[in-house]
Chains A and B, each alone.
Chain A
Amino acid sequence: MNRILACIDASTYATSVVDLAAWAATRLGADVELLHVVQRKDAVASRNDHSGAIGLGVKSELLEELTRIEEAAGRLAIEEGRILLGRRRHSLEGAGHHGRVDAPAWRDRGDDRRA
């Protein structure tokens, strides 16, 4: 079975990617799979603290703070990804494409190691 993987993000290119995937799918009689990779927020680089002072319980406080920042950003990114995929899926169906439209979510943890 043929399947077309359309990789999308929040950029404007996503529109043409989805349009072309829909076109190709219609001609080939294939399914379209939408893929959106949730980007990992790197909280370490986004803190602007160059005080260089370390005090009581600095390790646990820093871990707490980084977790809090990444947690909020991560939730937002997942929600945005869902909306993004939902909209594209809608436009695929609107274009009269009735093949299978999957909407998987993948997380890039920046640590995928290939052996």
Chain B
Amino acid sequence: MTFATSLRREWLSNPRADVLAGIVVALALIPEAIGFSIIAGVDPSVGLFASFSIAVIISLVGGRPGMISAATAAIAVLVLPLIRDHGVQYLFAATILMGLIQGVAGFLKLDLLMQYVSRSVITGFVNALAILIFIAQLPQLTNVGWETYVMVAAGLAIIYLFPRLTKAIPSPLVAIVILTIVSIYAGIKVNTVGDMGKLPSSLPAFGIPQVPFTLETLRIIFPYSLTMAAVGLLESMMTAQIVDDLTDTPSNKRREMKGQGIANFLTGFLGGMGGCAMIGQSVINVKSGGSTRLSTFVSGAFLLFLIVVLGPLVARIPMPALVAVMIMVSIGTFSWGSIRNLKSHPWQSSVVMLVTVLVVVSTHDLAQGVVAGVILSGLFFASKVKRLFDVASELSADGRTRTYRVSGQVFFASSERFADAFDFKEVLDNVVIDLTAAHFWDISAVGSLDKAILKFRREGTHVEVIGLNQASATMVDRFAVHDKPGAEAALGAH
């Protein structure tokens, strides 16, 4: 694709819709960036700068036009202990390292690993993310006066009812403006954004994190960077898939991985926290008509404009208004269809989904949840496939030869059943093992065939293996020992 066609297609295919969508997203990014900063325990400026920087950089270097990346809840919940124990400078250093790891992952083509993440795991990830966003709002909802609850309820009512009046302006913005005005004029005593920490008073500046450049520092930040990189890439790949589906256009996942790396690497130097693609914001973007890089770019650029120009006003936004917006994001992220599907889907899928959710909610680490889900879905798959296996046998007319016919999949999970299928007590001259309809997948399968052959030989029975198909033959040729010298000694060690 030439530069001109990609410029037209990825930036300027529909500028008006993209600019408007970008503005809608920027307005929705403010409460999220502030909210996620509070989750991570840093000043709102850290999340706001990160959201600006990541959105703008990813619009240039990302692989999925129309996807929104910024500071996210998934990363924010991970870094809380790092900031608590070591301070915010270590967060910037960890973000830079996170970017490096993601870049390397892109070059190692790790996007291919996404093939092993099943749909149930993705659903579990999305639901867990929604729950994490909701849980993060709880500190703002406990030990507070009734005014807070009324304002949150009013905020949610405005967000969901205002679109019936007009869809021309974003209803979360309307909720924030109305609640801010009411709280200032009525003098309602609730927390404001200004109470939560420092807001940006200037443009972000390029600077090297003030941490000692020692192995000790690396030892502290590396585990965080690795998890941040993994979680960031997972959410980005899943969000890219959602945007692919919504817009019915393809994306370059590997470029997106590298782009996420570049964005986080540079954001660390700008005093921002790490981020990744955002499911909720990307859906808002597509819903508002955004589908190109332009809308992502506008969302970041307009966000910076807003925080620099409106900084003093942003400080007066009451926290309940932000909580209402974040609850909306949580609801919009949750896959409600998955609750209905619990009954209709196979129980294994439901278990994988629920385990993913449970592990994430208990560890606050989306990567661990996904690993648990992937392992579990692998086990369930193996246990399903091992049923595709059968052994039948028949005795020859003279009673001296038995033919075993093996069909189906023989691998680690079914190799025990394979070994049990033979009757070694039967007195026979010859045994024929017919593998024409069988597939040998791994060395466990080969090993159990070897064992069976050796056992028959020890009984004085001659064994003939026929019909190993091409795939199985390769496996047997490479690994089996029964036809090589010293076979019995080698197997005896098991």
Contacts and interface: CB of A to CB of B under 8 A. Distances in A.
A110 B169 contact: no
Nearest to A57: B336
Interface in A16-67: 42, 44-60, 62-63, 66
Interface of A: 42, 44-60, 62-63, 66, 70, 109-111, 113-114
B328 A45 contact: no
Given A44-B246, A63-B246, A114-B1, A49 B331 contact: no
B289 interface: yes
Nearest to A59: B283
A62 B171 contact: no
Given A44-B246, A63-B246, 16 more contacts: A44-B289, A49-B287, A49-B288, A50-B168, A51-B167, A51-B170, A52-B24, A53-B159, A53-B160, A53-B328, A54-B287, A55-B328, A55-B332, A56-B331, A62-B287, A63-B245
Interface string B15-38: 001101100110110000000000
Contact of A58 (B167, B249, B332): B332
B289 A54 contact: no
Contact of A45 (B18, B245, B332): B18
B403 interface: no
Nearest to B168: A50
A53 B249 contact: no
B160 A52 contact: no
Contact of B337 (A44, A45, A60): A60
B237 to A, nearest CB: 16
Nearest to A70: B248
Interface in B153-183: 159-160, 162-163, 167-173
B336 A47 contact: no
A75 to B, nearest CB: 16
Contacts of A50: 20-21, 24, 167-170, 288-289
B250 A58 contact: no
Contacts of A57: 336-337
A37 to B, nearest CB: 15
B332 A54 contact: yes
B289 A47 contact: yes
B447 interface: no
A45 B242 contact: no
Contacts of A60: 337
A81 B287 CA distance: 29
Contacts of B171: 51-53
A42 B14 contact: yes
Interface residues of B, number: 47
B1 A110 contact: no
* Most chain B CB atoms below 10 A, which of A42, A52, A58, A111: A52
A113 B291 CA distance: 18
A63 to B, nearest CB: 6
Contacts of B159: 53
Contacts of B173: 52
B30 to A, nearest CB: 12
Contact of A42 (B13, B28, B280): B13
B463 interface: no
Interface string B278-311: 0010011011111100000000000000000000
Contacts of A42: 13-14, 291
Given A42-B13, A45-B18, A59 B291 contact: no
A52 B28 contact: yes
Contact of B283 (A46, A51, A54, A56): A54
A56 B289 CA distance: 19
Contacts of B14: 42, 45
Nearest to B335: A59
Please provide the 3 A-B residue pairs with the shortest distance between their CB atoms, ordered closest to farther: A54-B332, A52-B170, A51-B163
B9 A110 contact: yes
5 contacts: A46-B289, A48-B167, A52-B172, A54-B283, A58-B283
B465 to A, nearest CB: 45
Contacts of A66: 246-248
A57 B284 CA distance: 13
B289 A45 contact: yes
A99 B17 CA distance: 46
A62 B160 CA distance: 16
Contacts of B170: 50-53
A58 B170 CA distance: 16
Contacts of B18: 45
B329 interface: yes
Given A42-B291, A57-B336, A59-B242, A52 B27 contact: yes
B488 to A, nearest CB: 55
Interface in B368-385: none
A44 B172 contact: no
B112 to A, nearest CB: 18
A56 B327 CA distance: 12
A45 B13 CA distance: 9
Nearest to B290: A44
Contacts of B172: 52-53
A43 B46 CA distance: 36
A54 B169 contact: no
Contact of A54 (B162, B291, B328): B328
Contacts of B169: 50-51
A113 B249 contact: no
